[in-house]
A and B are shown apart, each in its own frame.
Chain A
Amino acid sequence: MRLWLSAAIALFICMPVCHAALMWKNPSVDLKAEAGASEVVTEYAFTNTGNASVTIKEITTGCDCTTPDIAKRTFAAGESGIVKVTFRLGDRTGEQRKTITIRTDDPANPESLLGLNVTIPQLWRVSPRFLYWRQGEAAKSQEIRIFVAGEKPQRLVAAEVLEGGVKAELREDVPGKAYTLIVTPAGTAVETKAIIIVRPEDKTLPLVPAIYASVIVDHPEKSATTEPAK
């Protein structure tokens, strides 16, 4: 009896002592993407500071755009490793906060959350990018604000309407920094789907994101494809 009791107590003592623990050197990373970059890559270094081995069972991310990579899964006591994470930028803009979850077989610390905060620079900020008028309503002008988000002022010189149906006038509010695009439909009797392209004076710069202006006509078939799920 005493032997069993001692063994149980010895095991109890060992549980907190014989453990694994992944210590992350920098569990939250802040990066700024280069202009024109398609991806950013970062590494999370860790060390198993426990005195038992630890196995990484799973690495999950909150976004298809974030791909984790690790060379091996099991790390002995004292061993270090790296989780490499590639973040595909796509058409993302502004502040991006992504989370990577590491699940291990360590019962004391089964889950670690890593943070990846990436700032993707924006040259232009447009709000809103879509204007619409309902069929038959007054053909009043609506406005769109365009800001030069970069540090250097950039002149916008022309607003070109593709596919017609609206008139677009560009007004400079703060030279090189802030503009207003005034959009007026020719009428609201017929369906209109216009795209407005705003061009910077410096032709080497990317265009301002496309702006959409529509006169919307209610079609019976439009709601037929959007029934609520019953």
Chain B
Amino acid sequence: MKAIREAILLLLLAVVLGGVTRWIHPKPVRTQERTHDADALTIDDVSRLSTPIRWIDARSKAAYEAGHIPAALLLNEDSWEQLLPDLIASYAPDMTLIVYCDSNQCDASKQVARRLREEIGLHNVFTLEGGWQAWKAHAAEKR
């Protein structure tokens, strides 16, 4: 009985000390939260599309050269002006453009998609949920 009483007292002491610690060392601030992209399509969404698709790889040239979705065009903001003419030359109005980067952790696809809409004036521009990693996993499942 005495041991239980001591345990309760020590627990209360721990709670008090924990509170003091939290007061001295408040949790570091989380400055920015990731946001969900409302224009993102999943691989399943893409497979249900009936329009022709133009895949656009928004990663670095090195990442693109290491592997990309078949027939994808490289278009990133590192070399936007140099790469843009290839997309313009092959553009068809009934195409759906799907931009991807490495995974959900990158924002390059969102940036490229935004510029295609706002700056170039294209419609039917989406991003791929999960990016290149999701596409690779999907391709591996199909094998």
Contact = CB atoms under 8 A, between A and B. Distances in A.
Interface of A: 1-2, 5-6, 9-10, 12-13, 16-17, 19, 21-24, 27-28, 49-50, 60, 62-65, 88, 90-92, 97-99, 101, 108-109, 111-115, 126-132, 134, 193, 195, 209-210, 212, 214, 216, 218, 222-223, 225-230
B28 A109 contact: yes
Find the residue from B47, B78, B79 having the highest chain A CB count within 10 A: B78
B28 A24 contact: yes
Given A62-B105, A226-B54, 6 more contacts: A13-B17, A91-B77, A92-B80, A223-B92, A227-B53, A228-B50
Q: Report the contact-size class of chain B (Cβ under 8 Å from the partner).
A: 35 or more
Given A90-B80, A210-B81, A226-B52, A216 B91 contact: yes
A23 B28 contact: yes
B92 A63 contact: no
Nearest to A90: B78
Main secondary structure of the interface of A (DSSP, over half): mixed
Nearest to A144: B121
Nearest to B3: A2
A161 to B, nearest CB: 15
A20 to B, nearest CB: 9
Given A19-B25, A115-B31, A130-B122, A64 B59 contact: yes
Interface string B23-51: 00101111111100000000100110111
Contacts of A90: 76-80
B32 A28 contact: yes
B107 to A, nearest CB: 4
B135 A229 contact: yes
A9 B93 contact: no
Given A128-B121, A226-B53, A229-B69, A214 B28 contact: no
B108 to A, nearest CB: 6
A84 B101 CA distance: 24
Contacts of A218: 92
Contacts of A228: 46-47, 49-53
Nearest to A91: B80
Contact of B30 (A1, A17, A112): A112
A17 B21 contact: yes
Nearest to B81: A91
A213 B88 CA distance: 9
